[in-house]
Amino acid sequence: MYELIQVTENCFYFDCPAKIGLVKTGADRVCLIDSGNDKDAGKKVKRALDANGWTLEAIYNTHSHADHIGGNQYLQKQTGCRVYAPGIERDFTEHPLLEPTFLFGGNPPRELRHKFLMAQSCDALPLTPETLPAGWTLISLPGHSWDMAGFRTPENVVYLADCLSGAETLEKYRISFLVDPAAYLATLEAVAAMEAERFIPAHAEPTADIAPLTRLNAEAVREIGDRIVGLCREPLSFEEILRRLFEVYGLTMTFEQHALVGSTVRSYLTWLKESGRLEAVIRDNLLLWQAV
């Protein structure tokens, strides 16, 4: 775990649950793409930097989920590196309480205030094309998170953050976290058309051919959408839809899963409503969802 894998002369990644990219920008200077899930991840990265005599200049966060920004604070304090985050992700990076608050839809209880949903805060700067090292390209990848970004390096290595999951991950979690299924499908279509020396998804194996994985992820999204529409042949409340989905996919309800999967299902309901497949009606002071 946390083995540093070399991809090209200057592009690497740490092999860990949410892959961390590392790109050399000079003889002894490097940048990171994300920082892992916590302080311990940051310590492991720092040991690798020290062992290679590398100076960390900046961390470029793809998005603000805790498993991607958890090492920010430690590494920033240890090295003085700059941290960049795109769009609204910067606000969540600087104010991590926003993440469980967003998921819960109000003041989050203690069951949601832990390192897997709420990283330590750090100082973050706006991520724009102008802030990138020479020759890098910023790639917009919305859908999994609001303003998630990826990066193409001068050696044509593309770091794809969380816009793709491997087959095993899809099978394990069944309903992958999304804030906007419509934007996510558009992102997958754009990624499928890309070419690169190597693609590095955070939660799938590196590959030179990304199209099959984009199709697999798109099929999973459409299948869940179809399943929800099928359930809503009769009017159902959100909680009943969620309960039935947990049964269909063999998931186990916990406080955290209710927040994560529940937030995703709400996003599906919005997508299906806006695309004309569901309608929302209020009966006896209940908001119900029904197939059109």
CATH of residue 250: 1.10.10
Segments forming the whole domain that contains residue 261: 231-291
Q: What is the pLDDT of residue 144?
A: 98
Kindly state the DSSP code that residue 207 receives in the 8-state scheme. B
- Spatial distance between the Cα atoms of 207 and 213, rounded to a whole number of angstroms: 10
The domain tally of the chain equals 2
pTM score, two decimals?
A: 0.96
Do residues 222 and 205 make contact, with C-beta atoms less than 8 angstroms apart? no
Are 127 and 208 in a shared domain? yes
Q: What is the pLDDT of residues 29-67, one digit of tens each?
A: 999 999 999 999 999 999 999 999 999 999 999 999 999
Q: What is the pLDDT of residue 1?
A: 81
User: Residue 137 domain-assigned?
Assistant: yes
User: Residue 226 domain-assigned?
Assistant: no
Are 166 and 287 in a shared domain? no
Are 175 and 215 in a shared domain? yes
Question: What is the separation of C-alpha 64 from the centre of its chain, rounded to a whole number of angstroms?
Answer: 8
Last residue of a domain, one of 189, 221, 253: 221
Are 14 and 105 in a shared domain? yes
User: Residue 263 domain-assigned?
Assistant: yes
CATH of the domain at 93: 3.60.15.10
User: Residue 119 domain-assigned?
Assistant: yes
Low-confidence ranges of the chain (pLDDT < 50): none
Angle between helix axes 255-274 and 181-192 (nearest 10 degrees) is 80
Are 113 and 29 in a shared domain? yes
Distance of CA 230 to CAs 23, 179, 277, 290, Å?
A: 46, 21, 10, 9
Q: What is the pLDDT of residues 251-265, one digit of tens each?
A: 999 999 999 999 999
Are 100 and 136 in a shared domain? yes
Are 50 and 192 in a shared domain? yes
Q: What is the pLDDT of residue 203?
A: 96
